[in-house]
Amino acid sequence: MTKQYGTPADDWAGKAVETMLKREPEVNLKGKWEYEDGLMLNGVMDVYERTKDQRYLEYIKHFFDTYIDDDGNVKGYDPELFRLDDINNGKVLLKLYFITKDPKYKLVLDRLFDQLQKQPRTPSDLFWHKKSYPNQVWLDGIYMGDVFYAEYLHYFVQGPDFTDVIHQFTKSYDIALDKHTGLCYHAVDESKEMYWANKENGHSPHFWLRSIGWYVMAMTDVLEYLPEDNPGRQQILTNLRNLLDALRKVADPATNLWYQIPDEGDRPMNYLESSGSLMILNAIAKSLRMGYLENQEDWQAFLKKGWENALQQFISITNEGYVNVNKIAHVGGLGGPNHRDGSFAYYMSEPIVVNDHKGTGPFIMLANEMRAYY
């Protein structure tokens, strides 16, 4: 009998945030402005909003104050690189701004929004993932840039027009969708010139779990900010439901979790991957809370089984009592100096790591959502 680290009813979100405060008092020792830090701090903010523990708010504030000066300049951020990844930290910063009303945070929010206004676009009018990846649309980038886009319009623009936000979501779904499985490919090169791109449709070679995790979280998050009577909002909701249904069909039936390459679970070397699985479960949990999903009882049962297995498959506790999030794919990309070709062999070759913020963030968010079930 293996040692049990706790029960599904424990406050795992609180345990994980306490771990972050003790184990990582400085969120980023490299001094880089990185999207995964914002992802993790979004989880901490969720727990702060539930508990009102001021230490959690100070932890978030300390991170941003190490990067942002009084003039709103951000250490490590270069808007001329046009990386959608750089926008992601703006989501938790926006919440921090409304709590503190510190004007330097608003200056940063304005600069992030200004980047989106100038972001290069593909022929179908979608944002490039970054300047160095011309005409490429990645599912990851929708989460990084387009939820913030909607939030900024909602809070700071009089009579906001969400047409472009909706287009970023609906058109990316249309061009990335595989009609046979209902899943979406990791990326699309609209120029069809990259060595990894399908010459007919620009698709990357495989579905990648975490990219779909980013995508369903993005759709779940953006719906909050779109007017309910807007037909584009209804289309995003339909797309979200369809994609979650497709994901459910390829989930590992024993655990309700997902493989790194989600539609090839029986292929040797493939493995249950934590970050993407936690993201998808988090999207399901939030969608249930917000009333986005039909057949609620059925989805709740699926979610609880996935949560309980996620704890067994991915979570361990150290001798100090720290929460470890295991089985995280370190990175997954296409192109670049390492010639990442999007093959199955490529996705299996990337290191599997522990406590990367791309895994701890979704774990904290999901664990916080699961407080409603126990």
pLDDT in tens, 277-335: 999 999 999 999 999 999 999 999 999 999 999 999 999 999 999 999 999 999 999 99
pLDDT digits (tens, 9 = 90+) for 145-157: 999 999 999 999 9
Mean pLDDT on 125-140: 98
pLDDT digits (tens, 9 = 90+) for 74-105: 999 999 999 999 999 999 999 999 999 999 99
Q: 154: domain range?
A: 12-373
What's the number of domains the chain is made of? 1
336 in a structural domain: yes
pLDDT digits (tens, 9 = 90+) for 16-52: 999 999 999 999 999 999 999 999 999 999 999 999 9
6 in a structural domain: no
Tell whether the model's pLDDT for residue 64 goes beyond 60.
yes
Write down the pLDDT at residue 203: 98
3-state secondary structure the chain: CCCCCCCCCCCHHHHHHHHHHHHCCCCCCCCCCCHHHHHHHHHHHHHHHHHCCHHHHHHHHHHHHHHECCCCCECCCCHHHCCHHHHCCHHHHHHHHHHHCCHHHHHHHHHHHHHHHHCCECCCCCECCECCECCEEEHHHHHHHHHHHHHHHHHHCCCCCCHHHHHHHHHHHHHHECCCCCCECCEEECCCCCCCCCCCCCECCCCCHHHHHHHHHHHHHHHHHCCCCCHHHHHHHHHHHHHHHHHHHHCECCCCECECCCCCCCCCCCCECHHHHHHHHHHHHHHHHHCCCCCHHHHHHHHHHHHHHHHHHHEEECCCCCEEECCEECCCCCECCCCECCCHHHHHHCCEECCCHHHHHHHHHHHHHHHHHC
Please give the positions annotated as active site: 140
102 in a structural domain: yes
pLDDT digits (tens, 9 = 90+) for 137-193: 999 999 999 999 999 999 999 999 999 999 999 999 999 999 999 999 999 999 999
3 in a structural domain: no
Mean pLDDT on 216-227: 98
274 in a structural domain: yes
272 in a structural domain: yes
Write down the pLDDT at residue 1: 47
2 in a structural domain: no
Write down the pLDDT at residue 115: 98
Write down the pLDDT at residue 4: 81
pLDDT digits (tens, 9 = 90+) for 3-17: 789 999 999 999 999
Q: The CATH number of the domain where 199 resides is what?
A: 1.50.10.10
Please report, rounded to a whole number, the percentage of residues in the chain having pLDDT higher than 90.
99
Write down the pLDDT at residue 2: 63
5 in a structural domain: no
